Structure 1
């Protein structure tokens, strides 16, 4: 019987002192933050580990303990035209604490002067205020309330604060987390001295994370167990590409030497251009390809990239309509777009269009609509490919060609609008609850959407694309 991965059969792995508190022990953080800690430790630059905190009651603490908090990261993909297929045992996690089972152990983290950093990924809904959380709850329900309780204990002990870097996928995540912590501090009447310590002794950083992490390789687990020579119920697959933008003070680069370790990390005083680059050049093409691809019977991003017509669509969308509208050096944008195309083609990641289609209306609003509007304003005409993708998206929300995945309120708006096909375009574009503005005021947009809808109705999406790509 194959032995389970543990320190007893991996005796050469060093043990590092705890320097980071990490809220979240799921696949992403273990393959992103903890993997990066490992890379710094491998080079003798950090000499630290992370103690993980379960943000919810059910977690991986027991399973991690069974493996002495070791696990394997498998990097699979194409990077710089080279196939990457690496395996590495990660030893940068010290332990996992469940505040639901041992709240005292959680609060005791405040006592450790060696702990300097706090990171988190508690899902997009994690950075949110929960009415009713109280300081004496053991534990409070929300992540920000738990954090407030820990910070208050740290303050009471007269110790220094933390560098706090949330990784949740929301805009300005550090600022929003700080605002909610301040809200709890005021609500719990923790005093002016704590409020001052919170502001002066702690550094809340906004951050942007980028790495596709499919997770546990269930379909290849038995094969990998034979190849690795041990059983690992926590191994996690990830793409080789990684990018982390941290908006924080310049001294952070020395304190957390990610860049020195050769990692693709940017520490900057303004992350806005990088966020726009990712949102518009990676997420934007995803959103654009989904309705057109699904209408053509394609199932995955890889299918899109292996289809000659759709590949031309994605490339021309990026090069001709998205990149010219972004405020970053051209060579940097070109390099990033090349990396994105390479990631889209990754044969080791099955990225389903159906999964990307979730909440596509709000995604279009944030990822593509700002670029479409800027293009029209600057060039006096509409971007053809983006406008066709917009029409396909609207058609897909009729529900008879592809399955719709969105909130009940959004679907109800479309059902009402589609009940009168003759006025659909005007009705849906005028709805500012969807778009944040009246899009019928955009010159030419209503007519272009109407024309594209007729085109998509009379032919298939591939034929419609063929008429607009080079």
Structure 2
């Protein structure tokens, strides 16, 4: 039976809230992370506001959302604190979507609304970047920071207060980097000292760290869910119940955006560094380490890894013996976080594909695992065996004959050239500072260790190599 499409006609009693936030990005993550949190504050009568969404690129989800009156369902599925969570909720905290490519004046008109106080964004890791060809006269500038600068300039011209800007892009010090690019446009576009002063004094750019796994639209269960829910929703989003958001900003933000007061796992702090290191090394690090080893063994998902006797022990030992000892936080806190991470990895309700995690694995290894490997070697005088084996498996996966490589053309070219000289490969690739930020051939015993592990992986396979170590 065909169900009626989700809309306000289907649910006429759903509330409508005034716009208080501008959100760049209408994709799955932001709708299941930021907008879901707005919903929770609204449910408790603490915020009573909605987000107006801005499409960062010309082709987006705006039209699909409009057909559903900007309503959609978030499905929370997973295990949290050893309890099964299977919940769904219609989200009413999105007011509308503006496509600046087709309605640029409508986009700039957002500057006129005094109730708009916050700006959030997730335009992918590549979104916070300077694009020298962007101009203020463009309608719109192509880059996200260019569009933001144009909007802020219009706000300044109207003599209005600034914004609290909280980017969610997964890059280090995202708020600082966004501000840096906005100031560069202000300078290039000759927008004047008074505007720069207003940017500095009237706006707060916060760095933030986001954490929630959002696999997105449940394609394989969509029809069954439509029957269960009693309506058709083409934009429903699956997410894990776990959520964590660290915002580096003024303490007053906790009152103006009362996320923690709504019972959400949100921290406003003066320094997010310890939280970032914990997440990068204990959640993202094991992801990056498991991917090449597990793919070489024919495993497909994170859950497959955690249900496998060999690979689950690898993850546990990697975290406890090599990662936690290298982090400068209380061990009990790290242990508790690590246990929560492994519980999330086992989530049977979410199919988290290893191939999706493998995107840009070289830059991920550099950020997530290489600092740990180098510190471990400096402090203990030996290499961390599991991290080093994962490094060797990663290098083998970039030969391209066993695993499909998902990376930039320039990175793949570097590997193709290095692999064309197999006898010299390890020395050539570890020497390339463009990949690792430094010449790794200087790390004691690393070249020999990688060569040994590569030989082992080729001769006996990933599983046997791991079993020998653990």
- TM class by shorter-chain length? over 0.9
Match of residue 247 from structure 1? 248
Match of residue 397 from structure 1? 398
Instruction: Flag structure 1 segments of 5+ consecutive residues without an equivalent.
Output: none
**77-86 vs 37-46, which deviates more?**
77-86
Match of residue 21 from structure 1? 22
For residues 314-369 of structure 1, give each alpha carbon's deviation from its aligned partner in whole angstroms, at most 9, with x where no partner exists.
00000110011111222221111111111111122222222222222221111111
Q: How does 1:207-218 map to 2 (within 5 A)?
A: 207-218=208-219
Match of residue 465 from structure 1? 466
For the residue of structure 1 that corresponds to 2:36, the secondary structure is helix
**440-449 vs 164-173, which deviates more?**
440-449
Distance 1:178 1:374 in 2: 31
For the residue of structure 1 that corresponds to 2:56, the secondary structure is coil
Match of residue 355 from structure 1? 356
Distance 1:250 1:190 in 2: 31
Q: Residue 136 and residue 410 in structure 1: after superposition, are their counterparts in 2 closer, same or farther (change >3 A)? A: closer
Distance 1:138 1:411 in 2: 35
Q: How does 1:31-70 map to 2 (within 5 A)?
A: 31-70=32-71
Q: Residue 304 and residue 99 in structure 1: after superposition, are their counterparts in 2 closer, same or farther (change >3 A)? A: same
For residues 47-80 of structure 1, give each alpha carbon's deviation from its aligned partner in whole angstroms, at most 9, with x where no partner exists.
1111111112222222222222111100111111
For the residue of structure 2 that corresponds to 1:422, the secondary structure is coil
For residues 296-326 of structure 1, give each alpha carbon's deviation from its aligned partner in whole angstroms, at most 9, with x where no partner exists.
1111111111110110000000011001111
2:369 matches 1:368: yes
Instruction: Flag structure 2 segments of 5+ consecutive residues without an equivalent.
Output: none
Distance 1:62 1:419 in 2: 48
Q: How does 1:270-285 map to 2 (within 5 A)?
A: 270-285=271-286
**358-367 vs 82-91, which deviates more?**
358-367
Q: Residue 398 and residue 60 in structure 1: after superposition, are their counterparts in 2 closer, same or farther (change >3 A)? A: closer
**320-329 vs 130-139, which deviates more?**
130-139
Match of residue 343 from structure 1? 344
Aligned length: 469
For residues 156-194 of structure 1, give each alpha carbon's deviation from its aligned partner in whole angstroms, at most 9, with x where no partner exists.
111110000011111111111111111111112111111
Distance 1:66 1:388 in 2: 50
Shift of 1:18: 0.9
Q: How does 1:70-109 map to 2 (within 5 A)?
A: 70-109=71-110
What is the TM-score normalised by the length of structure 1? 0.97
Match of residue 388 from structure 1? 389
Shift of 1:464: 1.1
Match of residue 334 from structure 1? 335
**357-366 vs 78-87, which deviates more?**
357-366
Shift of 1:195: 0.7
Match of residue 3 from structure 1? 4
Q: Residue 400 and residue 104 in structure 1: after superposition, are their counterparts in 2 closer, same or farther (change >3 A)? A: closer
Shift of 1:43: 0.7
Shift of 1:222: 1.3
Match of residue 148 from structure 1? 149
Q: Residue 445 and residue 17 in structure 1: after superposition, are their counterparts in 2 closer, same or farther (change >3 A)? A: same
**190-199 vs 406-415, which deviates more?**
406-415
**425-434 vs 255-264, which deviates more?**
425-434
Shift of 1:466: 1.1
Q: Residue 416 and residue 146 in structure 1: after superposition, are their counterparts in 2 closer, same or farther (change >3 A)? A: closer
**16-25 vs 127-136, which deviates more?**
127-136
Q: Residue 122 and residue 446 in structure 1: after superposition, are their counterparts in 2 closer, same or farther (change >3 A)? A: same
Match of residue 163 from structure 1? 164
Match of residue 431 from structure 2? 430
Shift of 1:134: 2.1
CA RMSD in angstroms, aligned pairs only: 1.4
Shift of 1:423: 2.6
Q: How does 1:191-340 map to 2 (within 5 A)?
A: 191-340=192-341
For the residue of structure 2 that corresponds to 1:118, the secondary structure is strand
For residues 427-465 of structure 1, give each alpha carbon's deviation from its aligned partner in whole angstroms, at most 9, with x where no partner exists.
222222221212121122222222222222321211111
Shift of 1:467: 1.3
For residues 273-304 of structure 1, give each alpha carbon's deviation from its aligned partner in whole angstroms, at most 9, with x where no partner exists.
11111111111111111121112111111111
Distance 1:43 1:231 in 2: 27
Shift of 1:11: 2.9
Distance 2:400 2:4 in 1: 50
